[in-house]
Structure 1
Amino acid sequence: MKTICTAIILLTGFFTLKAQQYKPVDDKSEVKFTIKNFGINTNGTLNGLKGTIKFDPANLAASSFDVSVDVNTINTGVDGRDSHLKQDEYFNVAKYSVIRFISTSIEKNGEDYAAKGNLTIKGITKPMSIPFTVKQNGEGLIFSGGFNINRKDFGVGGSSAVMGSEVNVSLKVFTVKE
């Protein structure tokens, strides 16, 4: 009887170590970017957020992100510019329709976290660390964070002299428990 009770306790403990799985809610989430164009800040958004997020602050080793956005949804508020950004020289959406981030580890930094992993844009994958915060939202979580990238590292925009190289990305990802 002791053996059965011990086995039940161990199995229960094992299953509670598993991170909760969440799904991004695209229509509530925000993926925003800012880049200088002709010396002026140009803002835009991306939608079509999907993927799987596993998160347990007590077990970061079991936590992970595998999320993507649809580049076809790029919106800078100017239809002509959006169409231009979808062309080969920029995002080449006919061939590379998503931007994807897959984490390799999650770390705690004080009250905040950082997701280390691989960011893929236009078929080019680079290591990235994305700092973020987490807040409870009913049954789900809200992940907020931001990072900077060099668009040239991903072959976006060629050698455009009028467009800045640094892109600031900010994220607010609402999730629901799966």
Structure 2
Amino acid sequence: MTTGTTNALTAGTWAIDPTHSTLGFSVRHLMVSKVRGRFTDFSGTLVIGADGAASADVEIRVDSITTDNEQRDGHLRTADFFHAEEFPAATFKSTGFRVNGGDFVVDGEFTIRGVTKPVTLDVEFLGVNPGMGQGPVAGFEAKTVINRRDFGITIDMPLPDGGAVIGDKITLSLEVEVALQS
């Protein structure tokens, strides 16, 4: 990434700090509201080269899903949804970074249930802070919308009067803090 956006990021490997990061999602429920959830077990890196080129890799343990409803979370882990036993991780690997004003767009390949599709993340760069004695940290917020059916999550749960229990569009929202590794 050779933009003004990364000039504040020192070349090197920046690791996601899961304690200060959230990988969340929302999906339409009963056609009138949204269910929100998050994954609690994930890791990843942002690598900034000396030339400013960047790459990002993230792994999400799908069995760490929580929507604050144990019954629903158990169902989401089954073959109806994530099939966590056979496909324990979802992954994201960047394929390109583009400038978008003071922020950027990250293109990549997202894999769920063994199905890989291109996605584009709109990323807001929140800046770099010297940290609290452990080295610099940087913050980002990112969003994208995917269609669950594109990834083989095709369960239909129709409502008797039309519509469905869950929508097809999933909004992924990431609030990520990364720390420069020594």
Q: Give the TM-score band, short-chain normalised.
A: 0.7 to 0.9
Q: How far is 1:57 from its partner?
A: 10
Q: Is the counterpart of residue 114 in structure 1 residue 105 in structure 2?
A: yes
Q: Is the counterpart of residue 77 in structure 1 residue 74 in structure 2?
A: no
| TM-score scaled by length of structure 1 | 0.84
**Match in the other structure for 2:89:** 98
Q: Which among 15, 20, 25 is matched to residue 33 of structure 1?
A: 25
Q: How far is 1:159 from its partner?
A: 2.7
Give the whole-Å Cα distance in 1 for the aligned partners of 2:129 and 2:81: 36
Give the whole-Å Cα distance in 1 for the aligned partners of 2:49 and 2:123: 14
Counterparts of 1:1-178 in structure 2, within 5 Å, are 19-39=11-31, 40-55=33-48, 59=52, 62-134=53-125, 135-138=127-130, 139-161=136-158, 162-178=165-181
Residues 170, 57 of structure 1: alpha-carbon distance in 2 compared, 3 angstrom cutoff? farther
Question: Where does structure 2 lack aligned partners over 5 or more consecutive residues?
Answer: 1-9, 131-135, 159-164
Percent sequence identity over matched residues?
28
| TM-score scaled by length of structure 2 | 0.82
Give the whole-Å Cα distance in 2 for the aligned partners of 1:124 and 1:46: 19
Give the whole-Å Cα distance in 2 for the aligned partners of 1:57 and 1:117: 21
Residues 98, 163 of structure 1: alpha-carbon distance in 2 compared, 3 angstrom cutoff? same
Give the whole-Å Cα distance in 2 for the aligned partners of 1:89 and 1:157: 8
**Match in the other structure for 1:8:** none
Question: Where does structure 1 lack aligned partners over 5 or more consecutive residues?
Answer: 1-17
Per-residue CA distance 1:3-36 (angstroms, 9 max, x = gap): xxxxxxxxxxxxxxx9321000112101111101
Residues 66, 100 of structure 1: 8 Å contact kept:
yes
Give the whole-Å Cα distance in 1 for the aligned partners of 2:105 and 2:59: 18
Give the whole-Å Cα distance in 1 for the aligned partners of 2:102 and 2:50: 11
Residues 19, 63 of structure 1: 8 Å contact kept:
no
Residues 84, 57 of structure 1: alpha-carbon distance in 2 compared, 3 angstrom cutoff? farther
Instruction: Kindly name which structure, 1 or 2, has the bigger radius of gyration based on alpha carbons.
Output: 1
Give the whole-Å Cα distance in 1 for the aligned partners of 2:123 and 2:12: 18
Residues 57, 160 of structure 1: alpha-carbon distance in 2 compared, 3 angstrom cutoff? farther
Give the whole-Å Cα distance in 2 for the aligned partners of 1:128 and 1:160: 26
Give the whole-Å Cα distance in 1 for the aligned partners of 2:49 and 2:120: 18
Residues 99, 119 of structure 1: 8 Å contact kept:
yes
Question: Which amino acid in the other structure matches residue 133 of structure 1?
Answer: E
Q: How far is 1:157 from its partner?
A: 4.4
Moved over 4 A (4+): none
